[in-house]
A and B are shown apart, each in its own frame.
Chain A
């Protein structure tokens, strides 16, 4: 990379870091905080790690990493994100038991 492009990418990354703080302070943008973090990671991969100008097997391996990460997180969190806890009381009409350590 040319020195000025390294400097430009570094400044953009610092700007994104500042944007993360702004998003963290606003409840409506709460979900944007990790997304900006992921964006910063992608920018580092494309520029400092030269993924944008790579060829051959390199982009294939990088995409494979993203693919398997999606499989891992997608399948791994499927149960947690889709399961509904139905109390026994709702099914049987029995009085509900209060758990001490429930959150």
Chain B
């Protein structure tokens, strides 16, 4: 009994810990929210709050109007005016940034952080392939020779070209040339669609040749199991890449649409740069997929 008492005390204390954590969390959240309420300038009043309180709505509307006109001191609570006097640029600076440069660097860093997660995402796939390839070298090499090399090569050229063209467009919008950015984006979308069409044709062709893993698989014999592993990797890898391509095409089309409306400025083109990063990343993934799937095991074929 005597030994049970400290254990009970300890367990009670441990049971209190989550409650203590929750209480501290609520306390911090309450303190920070009350602080924000006091310090928030009118232009940062949320739309919901503004809808509920007419007084806030009027304040918010006038502050946003003055902000859009680029009037100095019209709500630049966090120093949003620093580094730029052009009202057209200033209206794109969100309240939490010191200026356009700060905002652009944050956006680009954020995109790179996202791409880092993508690197690890695709890295897991390549790790799986490496391990299986080591264990089933001959079977995977044989399966790889059933891929359509010419389609893979043409697709590689298409992607490299699209990345170069969009990069050219980013360079032109730095000079404020929306027209050239528009055409660069249109060409990029066209090249991306051509890539996808070829990829869809290739998948259709693979299915016709019974290369989808499962019953009736085309490659028989002792290497059949390893070949099915390769074709599983092939369909998953190219499928995930194609999903990224579709998202990328949508984003580049949005850039084209915005450039058509002369939305971007020489001093503000962060969305174009961010979309360019994504598009080139999709290109990078393909540059690793292509030799892995199509080329590396052609030796001796």
Report which A residues bind B (CB closer than 8 A).
1-3, 6-7, 9-10, 13-14, 17, 20-21, 24-27, 30, 33-34, 36-38, 40-41, 44-45, 47-50, 54-58, 61-62, 64-66, 68-69, 72-73, 76-77, 80-81, 101, 103
Contact = CB atoms under 8 A, between A and B. Distances in A.
B127 A101 contact: no
Contacts of A40: 287
A61 B295 contact: no
Contacts of A37: 287-288, 290-292
Nearest to A76: B127
B223 A62 contact: no
B131 A76 contact: yes
The residue in A49, A55, A72, A73 that gathers the most chain B C-beta atoms within 10 A of its C-beta is A49
* Interface of B: prevailing SS: helix
Given A21-B295, A65-B115, A73 B171 contact: no
Nearest to A49: B280
Contacts, number: 142
B281 interface: yes
Interface in B114-170: 115-116, 119-120, 123-124, 126-127, 130-131, 134-136, 138-139, 153, 156-157, 160-161, 163-164, 166-168, 170
B160 A1 contact: no
B131 A34 contact: no
A48 to B, nearest CB: 4
Contacts of B168: 1, 3, 6
B276 A48 contact: yes
